[in-house]
Amino acid sequence: MEKYDVIIVGAGISGLLSALALSKHGNKVLVLEKNDFVGGNCNSYMVDGFQVDTGAHAITHLEVGPLRRLMDNYFDYMPVFEEYGHYYVRTEDSFVKVPSNVREFVTFDVLPRKDRIVVTQAITKALTLCTFGIDLSRQSVYDSMPGNLSQDTYDFVDAISYFLSGKDMKQTSAQRILAGSSFVRDSVPQEQIESIMNGNEKPQTEPVLKSILPSNLHTSLQTRMDRVSKPVSSLGRLATNRVSHSQGYPRKGLKALLNALLFSLPRSVEIKTRCKVSKILTTEGTVVGVEADEIYYADTVVHTGFVTDLPEMIVDLPASYVDELKGVVHTKSLTVWLGLDRVMDAFNYIGSEIWFKGCPYWAMPISNYDASLAPKGKQLVGFSFIIDNEKSEASQVSRAYETIYHAIPSIENHVEMKHEQITVPEKAAVTIDGYFAEIRTPVKNLYVAGTDTDKRSMGITRASYSVIELLKRLNEDGNLHK
Ligand SMILES: Cc1cc2nc3c(=O)[nH]c(=O)nc-3n(C[C@H](O)[C@H](O)[C@H](O)COP(=O)(O)OP(=O)(O)OC[C@H]3O[C@@H](n4cnc5c(N)ncnc54)[C@H](O)[C@@H]3O)c2cc1C
């Protein structure tokens, strides 16, 4: 029986990025994927001549964020990212840019003037607190706002919260809004990646304080110290911020990112599709392999499916760990893709739009980035909605269409392709008390990675953060370099 250094469960972007890095560090890697395709949610496919993605995507923190660092260090060629453009707000009678900073917010006349002034004060206060190291991840957006605002303002803030965390403003943290609107910017220093690449278990010039603190504590301490040392640049963003700072959309669609990753994978990486892992096998508290269509053995296993599936897959997980996993919060989304028989004036922009009244959506005319995503002279627009698990999916799909036709009445006569996707965009929502799993599990040499193991940023950027954290842990445990 062949034995692998590492088995990776799941061939989404988290699993494939992990496979890429591990194989480039000399490991013999097997990736097992239950679907008959790879890429998970990071994918595109054809529907009646239009190339749709799995949900409308803006890729964030492209300048110095985690995906950029992984691409720079492990990809053999780079996908091209088109500049994201702007975020807009559509209402019955206006179409205006989403304010990026307090200066623009003051003139954002979609909301009442009185509300704009008090909300501006609340943003200034939150950013100031955050800049000086106060953790706002457990304070809700709702609690950070003044009372007595108009219904329109609450609806607007709720819509932004839904698209950044999957939950309403009472469950979304103030920190999430500041990061999601680019006021607070995360980055991964190249030196951090270099210490992983070079196999240094610890940075060589580690301060004494850092060496005695647990890693989660010194990471947050460093973040705080960095923020305090750069307060002027952060606070300066109150006036100069751009919501879409360092965001992009891959030319040729989302699958262009997947293709660049697959192209960079060494031939030694084996990928098996239609191969669902049902059990993770352990002996005396250490992982030894997995059971799928057959038994596969490895020294290390990385699970990138839902972390909440682990209790079904492993016997004798500690009860306290199983209980903690129950705290993970899931949300679902619906994306309606409409293929239009012409390029419409209503979508004459690069970027995306938000409709915030009643049934909020976030929409992206993706063929405006790349005309080849739609047949010649036609247009492709994706509208994403949050799904309420308590209500029937069919009724929410009908409501989504009603909302689109109400928001843009002229669209209905030009729809020649309709396609719906109901998906879980991230494996854990960033709510004020939602749980995120540690990369190391209670089973020795079993690790988890993916969007339910890191709170930072969203989607593909968050998946990339989790892979960097995974590489750090593997390096510290002597399981990265062969
Ligand atoms: C509507 C929508 C909008 C989005 N918008 C954005 C955006 O604007 N920006 C952004 O960055 N991201 C966005 N995302 C999110 C982003 O696409 C995902 O977070 C990211 O692709 C998740 O990658 P992952 O590998 O962690 O998980 P997944 O893509 O879920 O991959 C996990 C893989 O593991 C496989 N698997 C699970 N269990 C098993 C098992 N037991 N055996 C074998 N295989 C298994 C699954 O089949 C899957 O292929 C959006 C997603 C959606 C749906």
* CATH for 456: 3.50.50.60
Residue 77 has pLDDT above 80, yes or no: yes
> How far is ligand 1, taken at its centre, from the CA of residue 18, in Å?
14
The DSSP letter of residue 201 is: S
Q: What is the pLDDT of residues 88-98, one digit of tens each?
A: 999 999 999 98
For ligand 1, atom 13, the nearest C-alpha belongs to: 459
Instruction: Please report which residue ranges of 132-189 form alpha helices under DSSP H.
Output: 141-144, 151-165, 174-180
pLDDT of residue 389: 87
Q: Tell me the best of 35, 303, 304 to mutate to test the pocket of ligand 1, counting ligand atoms within 8 Å of each CB and taking the most.
A: 304
Residue 208 has pLDDT above 60, yes or no: no
Residue 54: other Cβ atoms inside 10 A: 19
List pLDDT tens digits, range 260-272: 999 999 999 999 9
pLDDT of 229 above 70: no
Question: Is there a domain that residue 372 lies in?
Answer: no
Q: Tell me the average pLDDT across 445-454.
A: 97
Give first-to-last CA distance, the chain, whole Å: 21
For the residues 31-38, what does the mean pLDDT come to? 98
C-alpha 184/C-alpha 163 separation (Å) is: 17
Question: pLDDT tens digits for 35-45?
Answer: 999 999 999 99
* Helix extents (H) in 297-452: 310-313, 319-325, 393-407
- Is the pLDDT assigned to residue 338 strictly greater than 80? yes
8 Å CB contact between 104 and 182 = no
| Residue 181 pLDDT > 90 | no
If pLDDT is split at 50, 70 and 90, which confidence band does 477 have?
Answer: very high
Q: How far is CA 255 from CA 39, 74, 79, 259, 272, in A?
A: 8, 18, 10, 6, 19
- Taking the C-alpha atoms of residue 8 and residue 449, their distance in angstroms, rounded to an integer, is 10
Residue 201 predicted with pLDDT over 70: no
Mutation to probe ligand 1, out of 57, 281, 293, 362 (largest number of atoms < 8 A from CB): 57
* d(C-alpha 139, C-alpha 269), whole Å: 44
Q: Which of 193-202, 244-253, 271-280, 472-481 has the lowest mean pLDDT?
A: 193-202
Q: Is residue 8 part of a domain?
A: yes
For the CA of 35, the nearest atom of ligand 1 = 47
65 touches ligand 1 (CB under 6 Å) = no
- The pLDDT confidence band at residue 100, using thresholds 50, 70 and 90, is confident
Measured in residues, the chain has a length of 482
Per DSSP, the three-state class of 179 is: helix
Q: Is 290 in the pocket of ligand 1 (CB under 6 A)?
A: no
Q: What is the pLDDT of residue 419?
A: 98
Among protein residues, the one with the nearest Cα to ligand 1's atom 19 is: 459
What's the confidence (pLDDT) of residue 245? 78
* Residue with more model confidence, 298 or 434: 298
272 is a domain residue: yes
pLDDT of residue 354 exceeding 90 = yes
Q: Burial level of 235, CB count in 10 A (0-12/13-18/19+)?
A: middle
pLDDT over threshold 80, residue 214:
no
Between the CA of 397 and the centroid of ligand 1 the distance, in Å, is 21
Residue to substitute in 8, 34, 41 for testing ligand 1 pocket (most ligand atoms within 8 angstroms of CB) = 41
335 Cβ below 6 A of ligand 1: yes
Cβ(280) – ligand 1 distance below 6 Å = no
Average pLDDT (294-321) is 97
Confidence band (pLDDT; 50, 70, 90) for 192? confident
Residue 337 pLDDT exceeds 50: yes
Domain that holds residue 303: 3-39+64-74+247-328+429-476
Above 50 in pLDDT, residue 205? Answer: no
pLDDT at site 231: 54
Round to whole Å and give the CA distance between 434 and 456: 13
pLDDT at residue number 203: 46
Most confident of 101-105, 118-122, 173-177, 318-322: 318-322
For residue 211, what pLDDT band results from cuts at 50, 70 and 90?
Answer: very low
Is 17 among the domain residues? yes
pLDDT at 215: 46
The reported pTM is: 0.91
Tell whether ligand 1 has an atom less than 6 A from the beta carbon of residue 460. Answer: yes
pLDDT value of residue 234: 64
Q: Are 59 and 247 in contact (CB under 8 A)?
A: yes
Q: Is residue 338 part of a domain?
A: no
Mean pLDDT of 417-444: 94
Across 119-142, average pLDDT = 86
Domain count, the chain: 1
The answer to whether residue 402 scores a pLDDT higher than 60 is yes
Q: Is 181 in the pocket of ligand 1 (CB under 6 A)?
A: no
Mean pLDDT of the chain: 90
Atom nearest to 426 CA in ligand 1: 19
Determine, yes or no, domain membership for 334: no
Please report the pLDDT score of residue 225 as a whole number.
45
Confidence of residue 210 (pLDDT cuts 50, 70, 90): very low
Does 471 reside within a domain? yes
Judged against a pLDDT cut of 80, whether residue 222 lies above it is answered with: no
Strand 248-250 and strand 3-9: pairing?
Answer: unpaired
Is the residue at 94 inside a domain? no
pLDDT value at residue 126: 85
105-119 mean pLDDT: 89
Amino acid letter for position 64: V
Residue 209 confidence (pLDDT) above 70: no
- For residue 449, the CA-to-ligand 1 centroid distance in Å is 11
| pLDDT higher than threshold 80 for residue 239 | no
Q: Taking the CB of residue 418, how many other CB atoms lie within 10 A of it?
A: 12
Section 324-335 average pLDDT = 95
